[in-house]
A and B are shown apart, each in its own frame.
Chain A
Amino acid sequence: EVQLVESGGDLVQPGESLRLSCAASGFTFSTYSMHWVRQVPGKGLVCVSQINRDGSFIRYADAVKGRFTISRDNAKNTLYLQMNSLRVEDTALYYCVRGTTGWAGVDVWGQGTTVTVSS
């Protein structure tokens, strides 16, 4: 079964850091691009970062550029999101999402991990 399991979400103060992880299983992780998509409770979906199969192409949303870093360890089947200088507006449910092969899009979503930034 294809699975994505996020972890690392927590309650932190503004300016602090967090590292999210996404453990992938049930598929050949190294052959898929990956995304982090966040959702503020009751609001819509925003892709904050994406990374291609080998990490040679990375993109960030303007709102997180310079503060967040996406990376992957294909040997460990794990995707990461290092989040520095967190702001109140980064509060959201963060989903790990698999990119597709053969056509552009996303197909598998994790259950998400909650990041709360509050003083």
Chain B
Amino acid sequence: DIVMTQAPLSSPVTLGQPASISCRSSQSLVHSDGNTYLSWLQQRPGQPPRLLIYKISNRFSGVPDRFSGSGAGTDFTLKISRVEAEDVGVYYCMQATQSPITFGQGTRLEIK
């Protein structure tokens, strides 16, 4: 199985300031069809995970444009341009290039 490793595991951020989360995979996430199936999920306290970003950089329906994704191969980044109070929660990267889907261990975003 592909192992996903996130950093940092905890990120205290000031409201209005940017935040960045890294994710590294144990092998390339480039699929044989040429796509890279790396997603980012947000889990707010007491809620199920919610899809934010798919295929590295595509925002899912209803996701604010302050969220952006980038990267290639084995290294990926989620950025929040200006953190808002509602962004508090745990963020997971997830790969679906190879079955089974696997997740990073999560990064807890908290407000300073």
Interface residues of A (CB under 8 A from B): 35, 44-47, 50, 59, 61, 95, 100, 103-112
Interface string of B28-53 (1 = CB under 8 A from A): 00010001010100000000111100
Question: Whose C-beta in chain B lies nearest to the C-beta of A57?
Answer: B99
Q: Describe A's contact surface by its main secondary structure.
A: strand
**Cβ–Cβ contact B101 & A106, under 8 A:** yes
**Cβ–Cβ contact A104 & B48, under 8 A:** no
Count: A-B pairs, CB below 8 Å: 58
Interface residues of B (CB under 8 A from A): 31, 35, 37, 39, 48-51, 54-55, 60, 92, 94, 96-97, 99-106
**Cβ–Cβ contact B54 & A61, under 8 A:** no
A112 to B101, CA, bound (A): 18
**Cβ–Cβ contact B35 & A103, under 8 A:** yes
Task: Kindly list chain A residues whose C-beta atoms are within 8 Å of the C-beta of B104.
Answer: 44
A-B contact pairs, 30 of them (CB 8 A): A44-B103, A45-B49, A45-B92, A45-B94, A45-B103, A46-B103, A47-B100, A47-B102, A50-B100, A59-B99, A59-B100, A95-B49, A100-B54, A103-B35, A103-B54, A103-B55, A104-B31, A104-B35, A105-B37, A105-B39, A105-B55, A106-B39, A106-B94, A106-B96, A106-B101, A107-B54, A107-B60, A109-B48, A109-B50, A111-B48
